[in-house]
Every structure is written in C-alpha cells, then in structure tokens.
Amino acid sequence: MNLLEVKKILEEIFNKEPVEGKKRNIVFWYDDEGEFKVKDELELYDFKDELAGAFNNKFRDLLVRLDSSHNFYEAIAMKEESDRLKMRCFEEIKKTALEKRKERDSEKQPVTTGEGNGVYTPKKTVNISIANIFHGAKTIESEEDIEELLDYLRKLLKTELKENTILKLI
C-alpha cells in the first residue's frame, strides 16, 4: 500500500456519515511504519515481486479487520498483531534470501583466497523488534536515566549478538 492508497482509505473513512449518532469518525492507525518498513526491506532483493502481493494482502486484511472492529480492546490488540506480522514478513524475506543465495552458491565453484581454508561462512541475520525491546512508555528525566536505558539496550543486544551474526532492529 503506497501513500496515495493510504490517503484514499482515510478519505473514504472520514467522508462516511458517522454511525450511531457520533459526531465524527475516529481512525486508529497503530503501525503506521510496519508495512512500509517491510516494503523498504523487500525492495533490496530481486525476488520482491514473489512476496510483495502476499505481504500487501496480509497488511490490507489487518487494516480491514481494524476498520471493522467495534471493540476497543480488540483494536488495541491489533498493534501487537501488526508487529508480529511485520516480524513474520522479515523472517520470510530472510528465509527466501538465504534460499536464493544457496541456489546461486551451488552453481558457483568455491573461491579460495590462499589464506586459511578458503571457506566463506555467511552471517546469520537476527531480526529484533524495537516494539518488543521497549514495551510501554519510558520516562527519562536525567542523564542517569539515559545511561540506564542504554545499559539495558547494550546488555540485550550483546546477548543476541553471536559470532557470524547480524542484528537487524525493526
């Protein structure tokens, strides 16, 4: 969904007559970057057309369900669902990229550099959701609070970072 589609959907919602005697239509747009982050990542790969349609449908389905929800708590829960969907999309991109790389590598001869054993070990990418790292609101009132937050983040990222690993914050 591009920006024009988003604008069109919002205009349609706001132009509808408010229901049940309400004065206005209210729209909850929880994960305004989720779909676009996925699209930006997908643009980096030559197989983007293979996955784009399915990803668009999943996000569109979530948006339609959110739009038709009449339960406040259900709408709030969709933020978490949106984040999980975003993570699943990134995992699928990673999996497909690895499969494509294996296909290409099986067609090539191994390259030796004259140093060591000449075996290249690809790095594993680990996707980490920023929303999962920083649950809720955090109040920062002093430099000590900043240091505390950075220490927490540093500790968490160090536990995830292993040899031959790339961390991707989403």
Residue type, 5: E
104 and 117 housed in the same domain = no
90 and 140 housed in the same domain = no
pTM score over 0.85: no
**Taken in order 89, 90, 91, 93, is the CA torsion positive or negative?**
positive
Report pLDDT digits (tens) over 21-56.
Answer: 776 666 655 444 445 678 888 888 888 888 988 988
Q: Which domain holds residue 146?
A: 113-170
How many domains does one find in the chain? 2
C-alpha 147/C-alpha 134 separation (Å) is 15
Residue 170 exposure: Cα atoms within 13 Å on the Cβ side: 28
85 and 154 housed in the same domain = no
17 and 96 housed in the same domain = yes
Ranges of the chain whose pLDDT falls below 70: 1-4, 6-7, 23-36, 106-121, 136-137
Predicted pLDDT of residue 122: 72
Predicted pLDDT of residue 30: 47
Closest-CA residue to 156 (of 122, 139, 132)? 132
Predicted pLDDT of residue 48: 86
133 token code pair: 């790292």
83 and 125 housed in the same domain = no
Is the Cβ–Cβ distance between 133 and 156 less than 8 Å? yes
6 and 84 housed in the same domain = yes
Domain end among 84, 108, 132: 108
